[in-house]
Amino acid sequence: MQAHVVVVGGGPVGMLVAAELAAYGVDTVLFEPQAGVPEWPKANTLHARAVQGLARRGHLPTAAAAPAGPGGGSAFHFAGMPGLFIKAPETEPQPILKCPQSELERRFEERARAAGARILREHRVTEVVQDADGVRVTAEGPQGPVACTASYAVGADGARSTVREQAGIASDTQPATVASLMGAVTLTDPDALPQGWLRTERGWIAAKRDAEGRMHIRTLDCAGAHRDRQLAPTLEELQREVSRIAGHEVAMEDGRWLSRFSDVARLARTFRQGRVFLAGDAAHVHFPIGGQGLSTGVLDALNLSWKLALAVHGTAAPGLLETYDAERRPAARRVVDNTRAQLALMRPGTEPDALRGLFTDILAADRSHGRLGGMISAQDTVLPACAGLPSPGAGTFLCNTPLDTEDGRTDVIGLLRDGRPLLLLLGEQGAGHLDGARAWEGSLHVVRAQPVSGVPYDALLVRPDGYIAWTPGETELSEVLSGYLVPHRLGVVVAAG
């Protein structure tokens, strides 16, 4: 079997990579050991920058992609403390999307299959071997071994990534120091445990009731790590732990989806090794406070996919694939660090107590300037300039803006559905920058529009993931384009479907 790209792992990150690549006309094969989408209630939070990126690529339902309007924002928590408020521009979707991971996986899989990706379930990858010409991935399937040779491989196969191990990518790891349990139960007395965050001197409980009346519970014990991380928890163990932390008996039954977790943190030392890339939990793992894990993986996928597509089609500039690690690894490190900081605030003791009191005031003040909200939602992410070439605004995210174009009324989100880098020329002055892009014009989505209030540039080069690559300044447009694309006359141009 042959393909352009093999994706290993069919969770939301792997399925999104497959959907994106297939939409770009990349022959994609995905191996996933599960026969179907697991219904375990894992992550269910998508933060603003991930929501905004998915909207630009058409992956959100219409209702979820609708503009939030004036005053758009969502209440959230920081280290279990209420008071954090995450805002987004009123032209963007609501900054927090609550959606079960299983629903995202199904949606991404449907889009991947519809675009032509070959999804091979019940196939567990056993070997990944690469050389200068490509990657050979071997999997064990229902009918025996299956091998696929491709130009590139993407490991989105979770925290215990086979791809990471086989590629020889080392990680910086911090061992577990806390013990946590999670599960969904039916409480014998529905009033025995309040919804929300409960903190006592013995630990933490986070509880939320679902539409069917089950209580989804997570516990945190900072006294030490689990003695046997691999031992399956029981309903009796969860009941004992909840009762101990709460300080009174909390009877429960019908335990489902019981599992353990901890604060093990891992960051791969590189997200690329030759022709092999890592994304999602295969690249980074952290304590699941703040609901940032799923969003970080989604942003990995959106950053990597268009670059891989350009490389497959021969239009990527030399060095473009190197920018994936340079852009996403620092972002992942920030998530690892801020989750460790939040956990430090949740530990027992007089010093964390004092810090929590201080952060109560900080959270109240943060509502106006959004420093913590920008960090948790990844809206404060600024990317390094392409090839070290600075230009005003480069590396920042272009907010969705209504536009009057030659073809009618649209907006930034609508224009980026095309999937190509967008050269947006505003007014007569902006049109004068087209000459600098002539050699790449066939690789770009060139749009002329009327000047826009609030956009202080007359021309912008915008990447498919929504980040600004260039605006007029000291650096010429042609210099930046050379860092992203080869001239179209030297390669084959394939736009997203």
Beta bridge partners of 216: 184, 208
Mind listing the pLDDT tens digit for each residue in 49-94? 999 999 999 999 888 888 888 877 889 999 999 999 999 999 999 9
* Separation of alpha carbons 410 and 369, rounded Å: 30
Find out whether 117 and 30 touch, Cβ atoms under 8 Å: yes
Res. 478 pLDDT band, cuts 50 70 90? very high
Lowest mean pLDDT among 247-256, 292-301, 365-374, 423-432: 365-374
Beta bridge partners of 82: 77
Domains of the chain: 5-173+266-377 (3.50.50.60), 180-261 (3.30.70.2450), 386-490 (3.40.30.120)
pLDDT at residue 206 in the model: 96
pLDDT at residue 219 in the model: 97
Q: In the chain, pLDDT over 90 holds for what percent of residues?
A: 85
pLDDT at residue 496 in the model: 43
Res. 342 pLDDT band, cuts 50 70 90? very high
Q: How far is CA 389 from the centre of its chain?
A: 26
Mind listing the pLDDT tens digit for each residue in 317-334? 999 999 999 999 999 999
Helix (H) or strand (E) holding 8: strand 5-8
pLDDT at residue 419 in the model: 93
Mean pLDDT of 31-60: 92
* Separation of alpha carbons 446 and 463, rounded Å: 12
pLDDT at residue 488 in the model: 66
Higher-pLDDT residue of 276, 44: 276
Mean pLDDT over all residues of the chain? Answer: 93
Instruction: Tell me: pLDDT of 218 over 50.
Output: yes
pLDDT at residue 491 in the model: 40
Mean pLDDT of 15-22: 98
Mean pLDDT of 444-472: 94
* Separation of alpha carbons 30 and 9, rounded Å: 7
Find out whether 198 and 346 touch, Cβ atoms under 8 Å: no
- The percent helix, strand, coil of the chain (3-state, each to 5) is 35, 30, 40
Look up residue 379 and give its two tokens: 């809206």
Side chain identity, residue 492: V
pLDDT at residue 493 in the model: 39
Res. 387 pLDDT band, cuts 50 70 90? confident
Mean pLDDT of 184-208: 95
Torsion of CA 292, 298, 300, 302, to 10 degrees: -140
pLDDT at residue 152 in the model: 98
Instruction: Tell me: pLDDT of 495 over 60.
Output: no
Mean pLDDT of 378-383: 96
pLDDT at residue 441 in the model: 85
Q: Phi and psi at residue 117, in whole multiples of 5°? A: -70, 145
pLDDT at residue 164 in the model: 98
Look up residue 9 and give its two tokens: 């792992």
Instruction: Tell me: pLDDT of 156 over 70.
Output: yes
Q: Is the dihedral of CA 161, 166, 172, 177 positive or negative?
A: positive
* Separation of alpha carbons 256 and 258, rounded Å: 6
pLDDT at residue 65 in the model: 86
* Separation of alpha carbons 146 and 18, rounded Å: 19
Instruction: Tell me: pLDDT of 237 over 50.
Output: yes
Mean pLDDT of 138-166: 97
Find out whether 276 and 155 touch, Cβ atoms under 8 Å: yes
Burial (0-12, 13-18, 19+ Cβ within 10 Å), 144: exposed
* Separation of alpha carbons 173 and 162, rounded Å: 17
Mind listing the pLDDT tens digit for each residue in 104-132? 999 999 999 999 999 999 999 999 999 98
Q: Where does residue 437 fall: left (phi above 0), alpha (psi -120 to 50 degrees), or beta otherwise?
A: alpha
pLDDT at residue 497 in the model: 37
Lowest mean pLDDT among 56-65, 255-264, 465-474: 56-65
Instruction: Tell me: pLDDT of 492 over 70.
Output: no
Indicate the SS3 state at residue 294: helix
Look up residue 17 and give its two tokens: 């990579």
Q: In the chain, pLDDT over 70 holds for what percent of residues?
A: 98
pLDDT at residue 494 in the model: 39
Look up residue 346 and give its two tokens: 């949740």
Mean pLDDT of 189-201: 94
Query: Residue 445: how many CB atoms within 10 A of its CB?
Result: 18
